[in-house]
């Protein structure tokens, strides 16, 4: 059976930092709030938008309107202001030569699909699980388990690649293997606390997975 490799998006395959920061600035300015620093916003990337706004000080009753304002702006700039991380294209192409691929992200699935189509990679993926597809996002197991159900694949020979502890903990909760990458928003020091394997980027992670089991070659 071919292995399944599930990728996170932001910080793992794509860099949409500029678009995310701009979306948050617009949302805060729309409602007259003080705009958090770029570093404060980047520290929350990987969480759901709701949790990001809450962590950045938005009152619970105002979170939905901030999320809406963010999405209305983000959807107009996300393709223009998102790029592939170095060697991400090569990583996906190598992975597709021996594995079935999917995406598991806390981004909105619609925007994720549009981005991957714009970047010329969507055809490599057989499933994409976004925020609107699950009740409990990462670090819960649900997104990974839902992807496996859609792929009709069990937990064996399944891998999750991500750049935050939430990706790795989600994999652990789902009972699948994982590789962390330092191409995104968490340092090696942070990732090594929860990950047994940390690589520089997705390309190196795919090389590690391919060499992990002779049956993958």
Number of neighbours of residue 213 by Cβ within 10 angstroms:
10
Query: Has 8 been annotated as catalytic?
Result: yes
Edge-to-edge, what's the strand order for the sheet holding 100-104?
A: 125-129, 100-104, 4-7, 158-162, 177-181, 198-199
Spatial contact of 102 and 129, defined as CB atoms under 8 Å apart? yes
Sequence-distant (6+) residues with CB within 8 A of 17 are 10, 42, 45
Pairing of β 83-84 and β 14-15: antiparallel
Measured CA to CA, the distance from residue 52 to residue 24 in angstroms comes to 10
**Cα–Cα–Cα angle for 210, 214, 217, nearest 5°?**
55
For residue 159, which phi and psi values (nearest 5 degrees)?
-130, 145
Q: What tokens does 17 get? A: 């930092």
| Catalytic positions, written as ranges | 8
């Amino acid at each position: 059976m071919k292995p399944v490799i599930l990728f996170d998006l932001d910080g793992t395959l794509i860099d949409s930092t500029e678009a995310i920061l701009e979306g948050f600035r617009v949302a805060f300015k729309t409602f007259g709030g003080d705009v958090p620093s770029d570093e404060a916003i980047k520290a929350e990337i990987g969480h759901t938008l709701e949790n990001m706004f809450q962590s950045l000080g938005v009152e619970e009753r105002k979170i939905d309107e901030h999320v809406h304002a963010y999405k209305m702006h983000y959807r107009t700039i996300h393709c223009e202001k998102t790029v592939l991380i170095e060697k991400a294209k090569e990583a996906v192409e190598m992975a597709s030569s021996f594995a079935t691929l999917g995406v598991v992200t806390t981004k909105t699935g619609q925007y994720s699909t549009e981005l991957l189509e714009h970047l010329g990679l969507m055809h490599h993926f057989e499933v994409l699980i976004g925020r609107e597809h699950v009740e409990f996002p990462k670090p819960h197991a649900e997104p990974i388990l839902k992807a496996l159900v859609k792929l009709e694949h069990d937990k064996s020979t399944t891998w999750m690649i991500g750049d935050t502890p939430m990706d790795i903990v989600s994999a652990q909760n789902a009972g699948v293997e994982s590789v962390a990458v330092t191409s995104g928003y968490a340092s090696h020091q942070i990732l090594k606390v929860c990950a047994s394997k940390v690589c520089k980027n997705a390309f190196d992670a795919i090389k590690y997975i391919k060499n992990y089991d002779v049956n993958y070659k």
